[in-house]
């Protein structure tokens, strides 16, 4: 599993936020477009792409995109 | 005074599915309290046994446990064969799923519809066809406000399965009226059971959602069970084809 591809998949869940604004160190909770629906989309994307089930708490407790990437990697 | 209380379930034989957890479990407890004899059904034997052990047994009442996965046709057939003709059936089995529309692929719909819609209608169809529902029996489906009375983001798969079930309720009610059998459904808002604590949304988010309810709390299984008892009783003998919203006012 690649970090680059994960960031790309993650960024795809946003409609107004440009992909260039999202990097490994982005604290996604701070993004203006971040919402509970985007969180649901991230959970669904991770399920579809990586076959890993994230909980709402995982999304809440992770800060950066890379944190989430590491969490998903650890459950592969 | 026995026999004079139109809300009593004394002498009635009732099948309850989904009785191993949550709302179905409480409906079983309340129906037994109201002096019905029960068949309690579910998949998990241990939890089902726990429900059975918790039922009050009034004199003349007998309770039985029937394990069945309702998405397996052989198990549904066995269930239908195992029950004596019923005065009532309450269908409480169901699963939840939270998914935005863009991830709601056909396989997700199939999985949820299998449990929440097809298996429900199939069980009632077979009970009716095999004449296992007595004349004047009452059938109650556990539906939801989702999909009809409430449209929330992430609920398309679950909501549409419940909307289909609401529609099916009305067709069954019309056709089964030939045998004076009544068919209704209950549409709860969020009720405190394992079904809403699946972890997709955090406990904090649930709490915030709960505060949106005009009556300031989520439902308790009892809130739903009392409506089921009413619909099963003779007090509801002129009530059919309806969906009863019990939701602390959230759909207002
Ligand atoms: N809780 C709510 O907020 C809420 C709101 C509106 C509507 N509802 C509806 O109310 C009903 C009961 O929900 P609940 O909250 O009590 O949920 P729950 O505590 O999760 O219980 C679900 C029940 O369904 C059974 N079940 C699931 N799949 C089954 C299958 N394939 N075959 C046989 N049984 C199966 C389970 O049996 P095992 O545990 O033995 O596997 C369990 O007894 C559901 O239809 C639900 O959609 C709930």
**Would you tell me which residues 1-60 of chain A have a C-beta closer than 8 angstroms to some C-beta of chain B?**
36-37, 40-41, 43-45, 47-48, 55-57, 59-60
Tell me the C-alpha to C-alpha distance, in Å, between residue B199 and each of B49, B64, B206: 26, 33, 10
Locate the ligand 1 atom nearest the alpha carbon of residue B221 and give its number.
16
Enumerate domains of chain A plus CATH numbers. 3-74 (1.10.1200.10)
User: What does each of the 252 residues of chain B score in pLDDT, given as a tens digit?
Assistant: 455 799 999 999 999 999 999 999 999 999 999 999 999 999 999 999 999 999 998 989 999 999 999 999 999 999 999 999 999 999 999 999 999 999 999 999 999 999 999 999 999 999 999 999 999 999 999 999 999 999 999 999 999 999 999 999 999 999 999 999 999 999 999 999 999 999 999 999 999 999 999 999 999 999 999 999 999 999 999 999 999 999 999 999
Domain boundaries, chain B: 13-246
Residue of B nearest to A54 (CA): B200
Architecture label for domain B13-246 = 3-Layer(aba) Sandwich (3.40)
Considering the entire predicted model, what is its pTM?
0.96
Taking CB atoms and an 8 Å limit, are B100 and A41 in contact across chains? yes
């Amino acid at each position: 599993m690649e970090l680059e591809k994960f960031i790309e998949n993650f960024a795809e869940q946003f409609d107004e936020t440009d992909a260039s604004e999202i990097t490994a160190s982005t604290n996604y909770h701070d993004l203006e477009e971040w919402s509970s629906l985007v969180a649901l989309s991230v959970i669904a994307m991770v399920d579809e792409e990586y076959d890993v089930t994230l909980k709402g708490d995982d999304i809440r407790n992770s800060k950066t995109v890379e944190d989430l990437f590491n969490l998903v990697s650890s459950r592969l | 005074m026995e026999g004079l209380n139109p809300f009593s379930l004394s002498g009635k034989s009732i099948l309850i599915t989904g009785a191993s957890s949550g709302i179905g479990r409480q409906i079983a407890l309340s129906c037994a309290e109201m002096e019905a004899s029960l068949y309690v059904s579910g998949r998990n034997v241990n939890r089902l046994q726990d429900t059975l052990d918790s039922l009050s047994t009034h004199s003349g009442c007998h309770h039985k446990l029937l394990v069945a996965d309702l998405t397996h046709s052989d198990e549904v057939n066995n269930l239908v064969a195992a029950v004596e003709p019923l005065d009532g059936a309450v269908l409480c089995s169901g699963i939840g799923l939270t998914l935005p529309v863009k991830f709601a692929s056909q396989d997700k719909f199939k999985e949820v519809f299998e449990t929440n819609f097809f298996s429900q209608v199939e069980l009632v169809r077979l009970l009716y066809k095999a004449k296992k529902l007595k004349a004047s029996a009452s059938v109650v489906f556990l539906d939801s406000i989702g999909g009809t009375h409430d449209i929330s983001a992430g609920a398309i798969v679950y909501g549409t399965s419940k909307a289909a079930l609401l529609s099916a309720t009305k067709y069954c009610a019309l056709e089964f009226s030939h045998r004076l059998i009544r068919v209704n459904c209950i549409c709860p808002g969020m009720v405190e059971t394992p079904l809403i604590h699946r972890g997709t949304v955090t406990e904090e988010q649930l709490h915030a959602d709960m505060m949106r309810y005009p009556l300031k709390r989520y439902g308790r299984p009892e809130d739903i069970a009392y409506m089921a008892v009413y619909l099963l009783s003779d007090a509801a003998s002129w009530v059919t084809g309806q969906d009863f919203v019990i939701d602390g006012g959230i759909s207002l």
